[in-house]
Chain A
Amino acid sequence: MFSRLPFNTQKKFVIFGFVSLPLLLLLTFSYYPALELIRLSFTSWDGLSPNKEWIGWSNYKEVFANPAIFGVFKHNFAYFVVGIVQNIAAIYFAVVLNSKLKGKNFFRLLLFLPYILNGVAVAYLFGYVFDTTNGSLNYLLGQLGFDALSQTSWLGNESFVNYTLASIGFWRFMGFNMVIYLAALQSIPSDIYEAASIDGANGWEKFIHITLPNIYKIIELNLFLTVTGALEVFDLPFVLTKGGPAGASETFVMKIIETAFQFNNYGLASAMSVVLLLFVVIVLSIQRFLLNKKGD
């Protein structure tokens, strides 16, 4: 039946079939929920009742006016800072492990492995590392003779709890960043380096003038991942500190979950999600603007 149709009609059917199915899935599971999210953000839905009352912009006003909601963004700052350091370390390791080195595959694997572990498992694991009285970190510090340091409450100090948590993120994602950098480094043709060597460039000059410009796009990509990651952190503080001590490690996504599921305010939580979305777009635009200023 189908084969009797003219070839062009057949072609159209096939194209239509292949395009419509993924589009349909995309629309049902991505765009419809996204639009629904935006719609809910204008209502005062409690998550249960059949009627969703339209309340206009007041959820958005609440998000920006209430310092208890918007203020938690400053906790995410620690994750930015550590994220930048993480990228620098990742480039460093990528360059080192891209050179001629014995057992480099072993070291690559070693650095990449933490990324494969499940986030909640990682959080539990570090719960034991950072425990004040029985933790392995404090035990190690004590054995090394740092008696004053070995009583540190790593997850209980308001001033650096976020850095403690971010350092776990560092451990976990550095290897992933490194693998991406490695792939970029391997795509740089080696004759450029040879030419530079002949011209008398040293290792640092080669890094600045050849390596960096060549992996520029990849740095941008990794920074994008770091920034979104920093804004959306959730699993580590959720498992390890529950936002404590006294809310010092609460992140915006935790606040969203709390608003929706504990305080039954799905409307406000949706508005917060939309604000987070806009926030990511704005931060990324600024980042692109700054990074591209001297580029094209």
Chain B
Amino acid sequence: MKKMFSLALVSVVMLTTLAACGGNNAGNETNNAAKTNNTATNAADNKTDNGGTEEGSKITGDVIFLTNRTDMIDKQYVDYEKRFEEKYPGVDLKFEAVTDYDKTLKIRIASGEFPDVVFTPTIPNAELPNYFAPLDDIQLSGDIHFKDLKSHEGKMYGISSGGSTVGIVYNKKAFEKAGITAVPKTYDEFLAASQKLKDAGIVPLASNFKDKWPLDVWVYDIPSLIGGASDHQNKRAETDTPYTLDNAYGKSWGIVRELHQKGFLEQDVNSTNWEQSKKDVASGKFGMYLLGNWVINQVIENGAASEDIGFFPFPADNSGEAKAPLNPDFFYAVNKSGNVEAAKAFVQWMIEESGYDDFAGFIPTLKAKEPKLPQLAEFNSFSPKFFEPAAPVDAATQIQNKAQLDQAATVQEFVLSKDPQKVLDKVNAAWAKAKKDLGL
């Protein structure tokens, strides 16, 4: 009896401590739908291009922007608020910064109340109209990138805050020291350059293998360059064997594997340190990164002179043709039950006037606007062919979630395994099973 009691007690204690993951009731998202239609049409009337206070004064109320840039609070955002409120005196703009953005936002959306301007969470595009207002009536001064990525049934629900591309960020001093005179234009030249760096005692490519996320380029970007098409992630939904040695994934992952085996990555790829690697690229102890252009500013912050850091397209094959992906950063979205009109004005202002894209080192969303970063100008001098991502197809994401497939972890396994074919077989089997279970 005593035993039974203590067992019961133990289970109660366990239940209490483990019960942290509760649920939220998602209730009142839909009841504000009607309200949105009115405000949307109003906003369209208000937009004229001259943008003086006359127009601004019609827009009133509070706007809260939920941002991921905790570092800009009390700094750049103070200036943003001043400038925005000068143009729209009726609006009270507030910033709220959170870390772990996606999870936090999803929980807040599920609770039914969330700020007026947010970045789109990772949800299927078909669900966007449930929470966000269409943004087609914002009259931007020119054509924009990534128009179709966050749209559903012809309406656009997200405008990108900027774009970035992926290529080789390199330390020019390190290249000089290794005796590399011209940046490699083909894959073979790239391997030769890496060998020279290695011979000079420099780690050729900082992969940051352990941290997983830096491997995303091998999953999303390099396969686009190899296959010459950016919809490879979507195409996976059509087959039972999306990962084979001779398709874009196998080839892309084969490159990392080859670099690893030739000793062109960190000495121990399972013990890499991201923060340290920025300092090492800055000081020339590491030669290159294969990452987005956003890393350039961070390397400069870690002690490199801007003119010592270069940027060129990664030669994924021997064709000699420069290719590069063009990826969107976070997308602004407007809460359809919030202050839609003012929120839209803010989104337009962020894109056109805030200067955030230059501050963040992005490629501007407006196609006509030139990027400010000198390294991007260098990158463009190779006149690469850019691949904009294809609008995501839910089926592939669904299968991937069902199969619990972490592609970056698969790259790790692929590179470390003695038999890469086995790794692919395992992943394909899980993929095929998930696909069948979902009936797709």
List A residues at the B interface (Cβ < 8 Å): 26, 30-34, 36-37, 39-40, 45, 47-50, 52, 68-69, 127, 130-135, 153-157, 224, 228, 241-247, 258-266, 269-270, 273, 276-277, 280-281, 284-285, 288, 292
Contacts and interface: CB of A to CB of B under 8 A. Distances in A.
Nearest to B397: A264
A34 B406 CA distance: 29
A156 B270 contact: yes
A262 B271 contact: no
A273 B14 contact: no
Contact of A127 (B3, B122, B273): B273
Contacts of B266: 133
B10 interface: yes
Interface residues of B, number: 48
Interface in B17-71: 18-23, 26-27, 29-30
A33 B19 contact: yes
B74 interface: no
Contacts of B181: none
25 contacts: A30-B16, A31-B16, A33-B21, A34-B15, A34-B16, A37-B21, A45-B23, A48-B123, A49-B127, A50-B27, A50-B29, A50-B30, A52-B23, A132-B268, A156-B271, A246-B412, A246-B416, A246-B417, A263-B401, A264-B122, A265-B401, A265-B404, A276-B18, A280-B14, A281-B10
B14 A277 contact: yes
B212 interface: yes
A269 B21 contact: yes
Interface string B174-206: 000000000000000000000000000000000
A224 B6 CA distance: 12
Given A153-B271, A277-B14, 10 more contacts: A36-B22, A49-B26, A52-B23, A132-B271, A154-B271, A224-B10, A243-B409, A263-B402, A280-B14, A284-B7
A114 to B, nearest CB: 22
Interface string B207-251: 000111000000000000000000000000000000000000000
A156 B21 CA distance: 31
B271 A263 contact: no
B430 interface: yes
Interface stretch (B82-90, B102-110, B296-304, B312-320): B102-110
Contacts of B21: 33, 37, 260, 269-270, 273
A45 B27 CA distance: 14
B270 A258 contact: no
B182 to A, nearest CB: 30
A34 B123 contact: no
B110 A47 contact: yes
B19 A30 contact: yes
Listed residue (B11, B14, B27, B267) with the most chain A CB atoms within 10 angstroms of its CB:
B14
B413 interface: yes
B210 A292 contact: no
Nearest to A135: B271
A245 B412 contact: yes
Contacts of B11: 277, 281
Q: List the 3 closest pairs (A to B, CB-CB), nearest first.
A: A156-B270, A33-B22, A132-B268
Contacts of B122: 264
B106 A133 contact: no
A247 B6 CA distance: 37
Interface in B103-133: 103, 106, 109-110, 121-123, 127
Contacts of A244: 210, 212, 270, 409, 412
A131 B273 contact: yes
Q: Which of B18, B20, B106 has the most CB of A within 10 A?
A: B18
Nearest to A157: B270
Contacts of A157: 270
A228 B14 contact: yes
